[in-house]
A = this chain, B = another copy of it.
Amino acid sequence: MTESLSPRVQELAARVRQFVVEQIIPLESEFRADSGKHSHGPSEELRTRLVGLARSAGLVAPHLPEELGGYGLTHRETAAVFKAAGYSPLACIALNIMAPDEGNMHLLHKVATPEQQERFLRPLAAGDTRSAFLMTEPDGGAGSDPGMMATTASRDGDDWVINGRKTFITGAHGAAFGIIMARTENSATMFLADMNTPGIRIDRVLDTIDSSMPGGHGVLTLENVRVPADQILGELDEGFRYAQVRLSPARLTHCMRWWGAAERANDVAAAYATRRHAFGKPLVDHEGVGFMLADNLIDLKQSELMIDWCADVLDGGALGTTESSMAKVAVSEALFRVADRCVQILGGTGVSGDTVVEQVFREIRAFRIYDGPSEVHRWSLAKRVKRNQAYAKTLG
């Protein structure tokens, strides 16, 4: 669906694809061979090396506005570029477009003061630092239901003092700063804090099924974390609103990146099925395999269309909450089907690290949970169906 894009963006997407194929994919097996050591995501050393490659190619954070070193892409244009980057999980690190950094850049650009942007956003956009988004909490706190948030911030002189626990904080380990969501008197507020602020403690990094995110996913304790008032991000008590601002685009860029990964898995599977024989003919000539590849074609196309549709909605200026919920459910479940079929087509090879397919399968399983499991999105879509009935005329 790059046909309707400008030549400039088409050329950019093609350039990203070439970069991925020529410079990043050759590094993958080295990373995978070494993955026992990297269960918490690629090391900082590897990340720096990858970003260096993208920098040389002029491809760091390409979606950002020009003043931040990017190409000033719309959401729709971003889709073309991120799908091309997603073709290798490592490429998303190289291009500095991983979660949570990408979503944080978006939010900081929308909401942060010029001083905050200079201090936090600029080095982040340049790929010099990483960041974290501290929202989710352990049992009994804010998970799928943000209303249960237990972390609090209370005013103390010119400072705010934050206490609470956070879990599944992607990239916390190794991040330069974090955006902390905490309950304030009337609602919730976002705070910017250097990760080395006293009182921020990473209790442990979770072992998780996915392994692409630098720093992994941390469990943190916030104990009397003292943050000056000028490190409130945006306005007091506007945390939930900003979370909404961050939400839809962040969901959608997840879809874009993993779309690229699923396309990759499918390319690997199609090549394998054409090359490998069983029972007297290539696997692809067995309908049991060929039909899986046909379904992959369809699932990839439908996912692409959902992504572009939702991107258009965002480009039109809407919040896109419903549309990004629909896209998240449809795309994450379709891409998982794709990845699962690719594993199946490759047989034993599919469950081994000999190709990228096994990793893509694990990553996309996690993606079905991240940014809200399908069930939470279906729940809010059902609420919307009910609301819409207030306006609808019943036709028997």
Residues on the B chain within 8 Å of A1, using CB: 309
A16–chain B nearest beta-carbon distance, Å: 15
A292–chain B nearest beta-carbon distance, Å: 8
User: Given A298-B326, A309-B301, A361 and B365 touching (CB < 8 A)?
Assistant: yes
Number of A interface residues, CB 8 Å? 97
Chain B: which residue is nearest A309 at the CB level? B305
A276 at the interface (CB under 8 A from B): yes
Contact in complex: A143, B348 (CB < 8 Å)? yes
Contact in complex: B381, A167 (CB < 8 Å)? no
Chain B: which residue is nearest A330 at the CB level? B298
Instruction: Give the docked Cα–Cα distance between A356 and B396 (Å).
Output: 7
Residues on the B chain within 8 Å of A351, using CB: 208-210, 365-366, 369
Contact in complex: A143, B278 (CB < 8 Å)? yes
Of A44-52, A66-74, A266-274, the one touching chain B: A266-274
Residues on the B chain within 8 Å of A35, using CB: 39, 207
Residues on the B chain within 8 Å of A33, using CB: 207
User: Given A306-B305, A395-B264, A352 and B217 touching (CB < 8 A)?
Assistant: yes
Task: Name A305's contact: one of B275, B302, B358, B365 (CB within 8 Å).
Answer: B302
Chain B: which residue is nearest A305 at the CB level? B305
Instruction: Give the docked Cα–Cα distance between A333 and B237 (Å).
Output: 46
Instruction: Give the docked Cα–Cα distance between A368 and B343 (Å).
Output: 10
Contact in complex: B21, A378 (CB < 8 Å)? no
Of A6-14, A116-124, A384-392, the one touching chain B: A384-392
Contact in complex: B206, A353 (CB < 8 Å)? yes
Of A57-65, A244-252, A281-289, the one touching chain B: A281-289
Task: Name A381's contact: one of B297, B306, B392 (CB within 8 Å).
Answer: B297
A394 at the interface (CB under 8 A from B): yes
Contact in complex: A288, B369 (CB < 8 Å)? no
Contact in complex: B277, A354 (CB < 8 Å)? no
Give 1 or 0 for each of A29-40: 1 = CB within 8 Å of chain B CB: 100110111010
Instruction: Give the docked Cα–Cα distance between A40 and B343 (Å).
Output: 19
Contact in complex: B278, A302 (CB < 8 Å)? no
A251–chain B nearest beta-carbon distance, Å: 14
A153 at the interface (CB under 8 A from B): no
Residues on the B chain within 8 Å of A21, using CB: 393, 395
User: Given A39-B36, A207-B352, A395-B264, A378 and B276 touching (CB < 8 A)?
Assistant: no
Quick one: which of A308-353 are within 8 Å of B by CB?
309, 326, 329-330, 343-344, 347-348, 350-353
User: Given A279-B145, A354-B396, A386 and B209 touching (CB < 8 A)?
Assistant: no
Contact in complex: A207, B395 (CB < 8 Å)? no
Contact in complex: A208, B352 (CB < 8 Å)? yes
Instruction: Give the docked Cα–Cα distance between A396 and B370 (Å).
Output: 22
A68–chain B nearest beta-carbon distance, Å: 31
**9 tightest Cβ-Cβ pairs between the two chains A and B:** A290-B382, A207-B353, A294-B381, A287-B287, A305-B305, A271-B394, A294-B378, A288-B375, A274-B389
Listed A/B pairs (27) with beta-carbon separation below 8 Å: A29-B396, A36-B39, A140-B277, A144-B347, A148-B277, A167-B348, A208-B353, A267-B392, A267-B395, A268-B396, A270-B385, A271-B389, A271-B392, A271-B394, A287-B291, A288-B288, A288-B375, A289-B382, A290-B378, A291-B378, A297-B326, A302-B305, A344-B369, A347-B369, A351-B366, A351-B369, A355-B396
Which A residues fall within an 8 A CB radius of B? 1, 21, 25, 29, 32-33, 35-37, 39, 136, 139-140, 143-145, 147-148, 167-168, 206-210, 217, 264, 267-268, 270-271, 273-279, 282, 284-291, 293-295, 297-298, 301-302, 305-306, 309, 326, 329-330, 343-344, 347-348, 350-356, 358, 361-362, 365-366, 368-370, 373-375, 377-379, 381-383, 385-386, 388-389, 392-396
